[in-house]
Structure 1
Amino acid sequence: MVAVLEDDGNFALKAAPNSSVTLWQSFDYPTHTWLPSAKLGIDKRKNTSQTLTSWKNAEDPSTGLFSLHLQPFSDGEYYIRWNGSNHYWTGGKWDNQTKIFSGVPEMRANYIYDSFNTISRFVMDLSGQIKQESWLPSQAWTMFWSKPSQQCEVYRLCGPFSVCSEQSEVLCSCLPRFSISSPMDWNRSDWSGGCKRNSNLNCAADVEKDRFWPMSNMKLHDDPQSLVAGSDQECRTACLSNCSCTAYAFKDNNCSIWIGDLFNVEWLKQGTTPGRSFYVRLAASEIKDPSKKSNVIATVTGSVGAAVVILAIVLFAVWRWRRGATVTTKIVEGSLIAFAYRDLQVATKNFSEKLGGGGFGSVFKGTLPDSSHIAVKKLESISQGEKQFRMEVSTIGTIQHVNLVRLRGFCSEGDKRLLVYDFMPNGSLDYHLSHRKDSKTLDWKMRYQIALGTARGLAYLHEKCRDCIIHCDIKPENILLDAEFCPKVADFGLAKLVGRDFSRVLTTMRGTRGYLAPEWISGVAITAKADVYSYGMMLFEFVSGRRNSELSENGAIKFFPTWAASKIAEGGDLLDLLDPNLETNAHTEELTRICRVACWCVQDEETHRPSMGKVVQILEGVLDVNLPRIPRTLQLLLGNQEHIVFFTESSSSNQNSQTKSNTSTASLQNPNSSSSTKSES
């Protein structure tokens, strides 16, 4: 008998070396991670099942409370359960035609296992969420998506008598007059023990009655018991008469009481709906008796009037300060927040710090009261109504990917339309490629990772969402960089905001000159391949470190892609194309790969362009890329040299460069034809 750790991560016991007989394998007993080739389902013959089960806490890998199961007698429907019983999330039924789960289109089989061939994992996390994570060059796991999308939707995540809050830096906290039951587990992200009372309740008739602490704007996921009561006092008395009653609520002549430990309480920010108020039962010693009045009596009656005036001034100042410092928000469609316009004015200091702008409007930096930074985009020329705007924004807000800027919320008041994003401290890719004085020169490794990350974000929009989302304006200005220079595609989905009808997109949105696909300019309906073309044009700028089109001193247009395409086709030294600031410090194979991909992406016929999924695989080195043909558009530019010159290779004259370009054109007039499938690989 031998033990073998196989390449796919399966630990197996074999009858003998090189034997095909497996006596036992770890894939039959998964823990919290789902690996490729492992099964997660039900064996009806053996009456056994495989499940993913979370860790107990961040340091203890023993069995936790949350598990992912295949639901018996279902069409491939997965459930997440708490403690093996209560289920609080389902992936929906499996659609064999579209190869997606109805409730979570991101959870495609090939996506779980392949994940664009990067190092990735699928885990049942101790947070009660299933997560798809990828390993980044920064040596850290980064989440692509998670379900449920909000942690507070996880059943009993925070334990008894605790409050869950998505807005707070601390996810779980105790109710007033309660304290953490197990600080050690709490610090290890295991909140299941919840909180305990500081003082025990008194249910005896001969002692002082318990009192109630009001909690406003809360969301309680557990269903209470309903009682008949004509007033708030009657409802309160009904709770006090039951020693197991821990909370009550009275509204619109409806009395609700909660029996036993209080679970699944979620705190919502002020102004958020739907929220409700309820009263938590506490020992009398925990709350001052409101009937006991202060014995302090004012002796100088003449100063009362002045004191009232001073108090009024102070209260007014506090009110004005709170009004300016508090952001009135409303959570809609999951995690998206509906901001009030005035609060965004305050956060951005009346839109004073401009970060940039484009065809859809300007972007401003803002700071929320919790000191977190945001980027606020004021949309212009957006004509649809509020209902349609909110619906489409909520659709975009559910999309989560490590290479897409997260939409935090929006504002829709009258004709005012604003989008609120996470703030990216390193600005846009354009800022760094332009070599400004205070910008950082991106080395080749970083440029390549930014190109790959951008491709992954676009592939997710095109191929992994429920509906294909076309960005329509890919350019360096819309690629933002976070603190670790991880690329984030910004302004994605704005085409959907303008309208789902492509003809409307054509008439109201023209993208950016220099990145537009030929079919878009000619007026035909666009597809996702329009983004591929724009991405290819941007790749040339990754290589050269400058704009594709520049005006020389003598008025001639310098167009880098034409010269680059001829250089690639003739098999020249591609290091000549490289940004001089890199001093030829680039990985030759990666440079060849990225130049060839750029040429394939800007082919005139969209069927000859690769999909973004194929681009990702090529840049990852999984697929080889053939030598591309020079697109007809670039060939025409090569043939018309009265007004066009190309970037010189070194100090050689423009005439020499043009001569080489003409030679390349002549040798590529009849390129070998290939099918679109071959072109993409």
Structure 2
Amino acid sequence: MEYQNKKMFKFAIFFLHFLFTISSSSTIIPLPSTLRASARNQSWSSPNSSFSLLFVPITRSSFFLAITYNPGNVIVWSASNNGTGDAVVVDSGGMLNLLRNGALRLVNGSGPIVWDTGTANRGVSHASIDDSGNFQLLNSDSFPLWSSFENPTDTLVPSQNFTVGKILHSGSYSLSLDRSGNLTLKWNDTVEYWSLGFNSSINGNLSSPRFMLRPNGILIGLDPSIPSGMVNMAFSTDYGEGNDGFRFLRMDDDGNLRIYSTSGNSVAGNVTPTWAAVTDQCQVFGFCGDTGICNYRDSNPICGCPSQNFEPIDGRKGCKRKVELEDCPGDVSMLQLEHTKFLTYPPEVSEQTFIVGIAACRSNCLQSGSCIASTLVADGSGFCYMKTPSFVSGYQGAVLPSTSFVKVCGQAVPNPPLYKDTSGKYDESRLHVMVVVVVVLAILLALVAVATGFWCWFYWGSEKSGYISAKYELFDYASGAPMKFSYKELQQFTKGFSEKLGKGGFGAVYKGILTNRMAVAVKQLEGIEQGEKQFRMEVATISSTHHLNLVRLVGFCAEGRHRLLVYEFLRNGSLDKFLFTPEESLNWENRFNIALGTARGITYLHEECRDCIIHCDIKPENILLDEVHTAKVSDFGLAKLMNPKDHKYLTLASIRGTRGYLAPEWLANLPITSKCDVYSYGMVLLELVSGRRNFEVSPETDGKKFSLWAYSEYEKGNIEAIVDKRLEQVNREQVVRAILVSFWCIQEQPLQRPMMGKVVQMLEGVIDIERLPTPEPVAEVSGSSTTMTLNSNVGALSTYATSTTAPSSSPSFINMGISPPRSEKDTAKESSSLLGLK
């Protein structure tokens, strides 16, 4: 009786554990169970069906066992032979058997075991596969006795730890982690050609280093001894752009380690690489096989042979001599290869390395019985590497300074101009195609030239001849160079400047149509005193900026006193009409994307251009939207055009700005830096959230300007009061993030404001947003005019009441373009203070 009670108790415990496991996002596979290769659509899948263990067909009669990510069918694990990473192949009668004794075995149709986990009679009670893609064999205490995560093949998925002792294999290549915290890529487990480590960043001893790919596309290093807990080591190009897609790290058979991304519910084949360990594929040792030479056609690596003394082996298996050196009936000579190097990595660096000249590097190898090739690295070191017969991996490129030599039998026969590709076939067919294309294009160009000649002969001197100079502007525009237009042409394109789109601080804007039917926006600049040559130089600088979130400059006019810029026309106009007019509105997703796009555009101007470009007038009117509401910053670089005498700092006397968006340093006569744009962007960001002007005053805001009122509401935790009432649905996390970032951007001290690159990261949620500092008193610009020009004369300054210090009786104010109420006496005093530039 007691025995039966114990047995029932154990059964109850197991049953409860079984139910708990099911509820914890794992699918339970009981003992015994079987998967058959011939049974279509048979699999063991995770609860949300993201991952499945199944047989993947190679042909109609051959299969291999794998874990795939669905629905993309990305293979993340396979039953493979240890040491190679090659999947074990079974025939159509193959089966995966989970036996009662806990063994998991892959058998062929004829009966032999081809793969085994080695878990027989070790207490396995069941198997499971969870939503992270981990397949496990567990005992009754849910302790894993074997798991796919602990036995990786060539791929790592997010949350899968890569620790010391584990290896990713792919053909001759492998990825491993040593105890010092270095990831290394090796060829044949001997030649280490790439390494990435994090121990140097912490200067400490590592106890149990490990790597992991996060779902957002960041490769991190982890160890208990790291004070911060982790170190970011690599970033995919789409890191932080949401977790809708699936990212994974794979050791590819070409010897490169890559992060791949899928987009949402991708289908098979829609997988793109977003990071590569070795950016130059030709630097991967052995990529083109023994004695193969790697080169590039466009951006694609191709493989060829050193000369016609060699013949290719199929695929990327390298090249072999047509006559081997030991069978050479005559003399052996040295083939010289310009701009070529034979890759040399540890441990070869310390062996057969000499400091000699080019002649000695050649002759020493020729006279040595063990040397088959040599490379002189022309980098000033004088190093000559002698290659032994073990393996030679070559790289050739037009910019490589190295010269190499290789032994051949008899006279060296150079290669024809075209290399052989990776399949070993000549490019003669491609050459024939190119010849035909060139001939056809030549005939077409001749016909165009004849037609153009007739057209000019018939219409020369007529009214239409004025358009000849602009006839081919489409071609110039496509080349990226700004077109030079005459003032008369722009008058014609704009119908005498009749359709006015708006007026900003730099001049009026008119709509125009070019002769190729392209719509443009023509801006007439005011106050430009530069000569034509200097103006064209500045325009060239502006036109060299290319970014998705910047308005493209099509052309310009510098004729006499006329200075005009021609931009692409964006049909949705400027952001302000969507924020501040009741007829138009945007949903939260569009607003957040506009905030991100604008921040990225400004980041490009500040941090990614050759010269930092300060916009000086960031406001909703200068943020334009295309058909899909993509934000594009306009009027960038115009501040420099307005201030030709001083390119280092923009001064109070020479710059234009807009009420509500000017940073305090304008009024303190301090140097103007990129932090002024950060301040203006913060004001725009707050307006994107609220749909109200930052300087707006209303009974709803208790008579305070909206920016100050918004901060007080944030301190009370009343976020909903700040958000635009027209928004029916918002992402609260994004809203809070945007509000906090806006408050950071409009800090009074420029040093407290973040750089725009950090603003983008905070908005994306890549980095945490720190606690806001205590609010400070603030300087204020007020007035009835929306756009103003600050001059150093009394008449202009007396128009705007300013404050450099808050009255002692007033509360503390954060820098949001606001100040406490002031008396007329205070105003006069403050204006005098500003005039003295105190």
TM-score bin, normalised by smaller chain = 0.5 to 0.7
Counterpart of 2:443 in structure 1: which amino acid?
P
- The answer as to 2:735 corresponding to 1:495 is no
- The answer as to 2:628 corresponding to 1:484 is yes
Whether contact under 8 Å (1:457, 1:489) holds in the other structure is yes
Distance 2:635 2:813 in 1: 41
Q: Give the equivalent residue in structure 2 for 1:398.
A: 544
Shift of 1:632: 1.8
Distance 2:293 2:652 in 1: 52
Secondary structure at the aligned position of 2:726 is classed as helix
Deviations 1:22-54 (A, max 9, x none): 676426359996724233166598788877766
Indicate how the Cα distance of structure 1 residues 442 and 214 shifts in structure 2: closer, same or farther if over 3 A, else same. closer
- The answer as to 2:280 corresponding to 1:40 is yes
Q: Give the equivalent residue in structure 2 for 1:428.
A: 574
Deviations 1:446-493 (A, max 9, x none): 101100110001111101111111000000000000111110010111
Distance 2:650 2:497 in 1: 30
Indicate how the Cα distance of structure 1 residues 423 and 546 shifts in structure 2: closer, same or farther if over 3 A, else same. same
Counterpart of 1:387 in structure 2: which amino acid?
K
Secondary structure at the aligned position of 1:371 is classed as coil
Counterpart of 1:380 in structure 2: which amino acid?
E
Counterpart of 1:506 in structure 2: which amino acid?
L
- The answer as to 2:514 corresponding to 1:364 is no
Distance 2:592 2:400 in 1: 35
Whether contact under 8 Å (1:602, 1:631) holds in the other structure is no
Q: Equivalent residues in 2 for 1:452-531 (5 A)? A: 452-498=596-642, 499=644, 500-503=646-649, 505-531=651-677
Q: Name which of 22, 25, 28 aligns with 2:255.
A: 28
Indicate how the Cα distance of structure 1 residues 455 and 323 shifts in structure 2: closer, same or farther if over 3 A, else same. same
Deviations 1:399-451 (A, max 9, x none): 101111111111111111111111111110111111242x3x11111101100
Q: Give the equivalent residue in structure 1 for 2:754.
A: 610
Whether contact under 8 Å (1:366, 1:373) holds in the other structure is yes
Deviations 1:173-219 (A, max 9, x none): 833358xxxxxxxxxxxxxxxxxxxxxxxxxxxxxxxxx879489xx
Q: Give the equivalent residue in structure 2 for 1:582.
A: 727
Distance 2:766 2:636 in 1: 27
Distance 1:49 1:605 in 2: 57
- The answer as to 2:682 corresponding to 1:536 is yes
Secondary structure at the aligned position of 1:522 is classed as coil
Indicate how the Cα distance of structure 1 residues 381 and 556 shifts in structure 2: closer, same or farther if over 3 A, else same. farther
Please say which structure displays the higher CA radius of gyration. Answer: 2
Deviations 1:321-373 (A, max 9, x none): 35358626785995211112211111111111111111211111111111111
- The answer as to 2:561 corresponding to 1:415 is yes
Counterpart of 2:722 in structure 1: which amino acid?
L
Q: Give the equivalent residue in structure 2 for 1:13.
A: 169
Distance 1:557 1:490 in 2: 33
Deviations 1:524-545 (A, max 9, x none): 1111000000000111111110
Shift of 1:562: 0.5
Q: Name which of 152, 155, 176 aligns with 2:443.
A: 176
Distance 1:373 1:554 in 2: 42
What residue ranges of structure 2 are gaps of 5+ in the alignment? 1-81, 86-152, 178-183, 188-250, 259-271, 301-314, 317-338, 342-376, 381-394, 402-430, 781-809, 816-838
Q: Give the equivalent residue in structure 1 for 2:501.
A: 355
Secondary structure at the aligned position of 1:580 is classed as coil
Secondary structure at the aligned position of 1:561 is classed as helix
Indicate how the Cα distance of structure 1 residues 350 and 626 shifts in structure 2: closer, same or farther if over 3 A, else same. same
Distance 1:515 1:602 in 2: 9
Whether contact under 8 Å (1:14, 1:22) holds in the other structure is no
Secondary structure at the aligned position of 2:524 is classed as strand
Counterpart of 1:28 in structure 2: which amino acid?
G
Indicate how the Cα distance of structure 1 residues 48 and 588 shifts in structure 2: closer, same or farther if over 3 A, else same. farther
Distance 2:635 2:400 in 1: 28
Secondary structure at the aligned position of 1:507 is classed as coil
Deviations 1:585-625 (A, max 9, x none): 21111111111111111111100000000000001110110
- The answer as to 2:674 corresponding to 1:550 is no
Q: Equivalent residues in 2 for 1:115-514 (5 A)? A: 159-160=434-435, 174-176=441-443, 215=449, 319-323=462-466, 327=470, 335-437=481-583, 439=584, 441-498=585-642, 499=644, 500-503=646-649, 505-514=651-660
Indicate how the Cα distance of structure 1 residues 443 and 52 shifts in structure 2: closer, same or farther if over 3 A, else same. farther
Distance 1:665 1:51 in 2: 69
Secondary structure at the aligned position of 1:632 is classed as coil
Distance 2:600 2:504 in 1: 24
Q: Give the equivalent residue in structure 2 for 1:4.
A: 154
Q: Give the equivalent residue in structure 2 for 1:232.
A: none
Which fold has the larger relative contact order, with Cα–Cα distance below 8 Å and residues 6 or more apart in sequence? 1
Shift of 1:522: 1.5
Shift of 1:550: 2.5
Distance 1:444 1:451 in 2: 10
Relative to structure 2, which stretch is displaced further, 501-510 or 469-478?
501-510
Counterpart of 1:37 in structure 2: which amino acid?
A
Indicate how the Cα distance of structure 1 residues 460 and 74 shifts in structure 2: closer, same or farther if over 3 A, else same. farther
Q: Give the equivalent residue in structure 1 for 2:106.
A: none
Distance 2:378 2:514 in 1: 46
Secondary structure at the aligned position of 1:408 is classed as strand
Secondary structure at the aligned position of 1:421 is classed as strand
Q: Give the equivalent residue in structure 2 for 1:572.
A: 717
Q: Give the equivalent residue in structure 1 for 2:825.
A: none
TM-score (norm 1): 0.53
TM-score (norm 2): 0.44
Distance 2:174 2:434 in 1: 49
Distance 2:459 2:812 in 1: 80
Whether contact under 8 Å (1:405, 1:490) holds in the other structure is yes
What residue ranges of structure 1 are gaps of 5+ in the alignment? 57-61, 64-69, 77-83, 93-155, 164-171, 179-211, 218-269, 271-276, 278-289, 291-313, 638-663, 670-681
Counterpart of 2:154 in structure 1: which amino acid?
V
Counterpart of 1:321 in structure 2: which amino acid?
K
Whether contact under 8 Å (1:13, 1:22) holds in the other structure is no
Distance 1:391 1:602 in 2: 33
Whether contact under 8 Å (1:379, 1:419) holds in the other structure is yes
Distance 2:567 2:284 in 1: 48
- The answer as to 2:826 corresponding to 1:559 is no
